[in-house]
Structure 1
């Protein structure tokens, strides 16, 4: 029998793009995040995820909003009130920062949380962010590729990591504390051909960016082919972002794309992801308040998850 499908959640409140934010999030804050994190910890969620944007240009603010909490600060804040749930950057735009700076931040987070970090990385898409920070937007793919290699070294076991590349060159510089984990899981985000190739050749996991169900089998097949051709034998954690969910029969309009129904019906639908070769799903619940969200999370953990 295949392993159970794991489930995680992108935190609300900390990013408020109009694509997915619920109206109640606009007035929410730290107390809401604390309650949601504690609920996830109790309800068996595999991870909490936070996004990464430094600054949003005015031309994009109406769609993306300017609410993007810093992922390291947010996940560290929530690590202190949780015990088992993992902490995922989904995704850190690591090319915006020198790898030693990124390593210092995330190694400290892993150390303080007792080894619960998953480092999700992506190329980024906001040109003005790169320009403001002096990073070449057009070469962001190459920057990310080398950043991954540099981070592998900087987050490894050595107190004095070493990396010699075209963009970054360091040795003889010590960083402590070291991560609690011997190897930080590094998941690559994105669904473009370049992102899928990067995940296949450099990642421990793949975080697709909104691929619908009908596109996933081909993407997963390509991942497997690329890894086989490169002789990569290590396991790869394949992820998916599900449709919005509502456990039970909603008494309000949750949208036509939302999966609703009994726990058994929802579990049956979600098991289709496992049949495709997906190992973990990121779930999102339609909700009108923090309380409705935490109730949905608790119901999912208690009634749906046992059937995954």
Structure 2
């Protein structure tokens, strides 16, 4: 699941999150960890321009700091950047930060990457917004090297060139998974050719099968035999019968009803689903997480 509080776009944030703080964030992370969730995720924006602030808000926690903080209070749940705009930073700097998170967490990092969409961020940090796709393509290769087993990683490319600079600690994992976010044709192609996983950005159910077929075809055409993790972001969920208005797109009902609906994603070829629960408070969200983990998740593989 994408964590609440750490990003508060008006598209998905609940009203109670505005007054929430670190203690609430930790409590939700611990609830997800105890409920057996696969990952918790944090977003990435350096700065939100005034023109976008009314919709996006300016509340975007730093993902490295957030995931490192939550690593200390969780034991099993993986830590996902969804997604890190890695083109805003040099790959060596990104690798140093995320390798440290992986080291401190005992190998629980999943590095989700994306091209970014806010022009002003790129301009303020001295990067070419129009080149962001090409930069990301190379940044993934550079990060593969910088997050690999070698103490002195090496990469020589058009945008980045480095060697002879040692970085310890190394990641705890032999290979840090890199999942590519986005649903544009370029993002799907990037995920197919360079990713260990694909994180679509809200594709509706009727569009996912075609996107997955394209992803698979691109990998076959490129001769890539390794499996790729296919993700999906579900509709908003509520376990049980809510006594309040949760929105027309929200899937509600008994655990078996939710499980039956969500199993449709597996039939499409989806391997993991990212869920978001409608809720009016931290406690209600924690209850939803617990109920989903105990009563819905065990039915997803039936």
- TM interval, shorter chain, is over 0.9
- The equivalent position to 1:92 in structure 2, one of 73, 84, 89, is 84
Q: In the alignment, which residue of structure 2 is the partner of 1:107? A: 99
Map of 2:192 onto structure 1: 200
Report the alpha carbon displacement of residue 177 of structure 1 after superposing the two structures with TM: 0.2
Q: Which residue of 2 aligns with 1:76?
A: 68
| Alpha-carbon shift at residue 105 of structure 1 (Å) | 0.2
Structure 2 Cα separation of the partners of residues 235 and 72 of structure 1: 27
Secondary structure in structure 2 of the residue aligned to 1:119: strand
Deviation at 1:233, TM superposition (A): 0.5
Match of 2:264 in 1: 272
Residue 58 of structure 1 aligns to a residue in which SS?
coil
Please, which of 210, 216, 227 is the counterpart of residue 224 of structure 1? 216
Cross-structure match for 1:21: 13
TM-score normalised per structure 1: 0.97
Shift of 1:125: 0.2
**Deviation per residue, 1:70-93 (Å, 9 max, x gap):** 000000000000000000000000
In structure 1, C-alpha distance between the alignment counterparts of 2:96 and 2:126, rounded to whole Å: 20
Q: Distance in 2 between matches of 1:248 and 1:59?
A: 39
1:103-151 superposed Cα distances (whole Å, 9 cap, x missing partner): 0000000000000000000000000000000000001000000000000
Give the match's secondary structure for 1:191: coil
Select the residue among 139, 154, 168 that pairs with 2:160: 168
More relative contact order in 1 or in 2 (CA 8 Å, sep 6+)? Answer: 1
- In the TM superposition, residue 98 of structure 1 has moved relative to its aligned partner by 0.2
Structure 2 unpaired stretches of 5+: none
What residue in structure 2 maps to residue 214 of structure 1? 206
Distance in 1 separating the partners of 2:262 and 2:158: 44
**Residue 30 of structure 2, aligned match among 31, 35, 38:** 38
Shift of 1:101: 0.2
Could you list the per-position Cα deviations for residues 256-306 of structure 1 after superposition, in whole angstroms to 9, with x for gaps in the alignment?
000000000000000000000000000000000000000000000000001
Q: Could you tell me how far 1:46 is from its partner in structure 2?
A: 0.2
Q: Does 1:138 align with 2:130?
A: yes
Aligned to 2:39: 47
TM-score by length of 2: 0.99
How far did 1:210 drift?
A: 0.7
Residue 159 in 1 paired to residue 151 in 2? yes
The corresponding residue for 2:293 is: 301
Is the partner of 2:52 in helix, strand or coil? helix
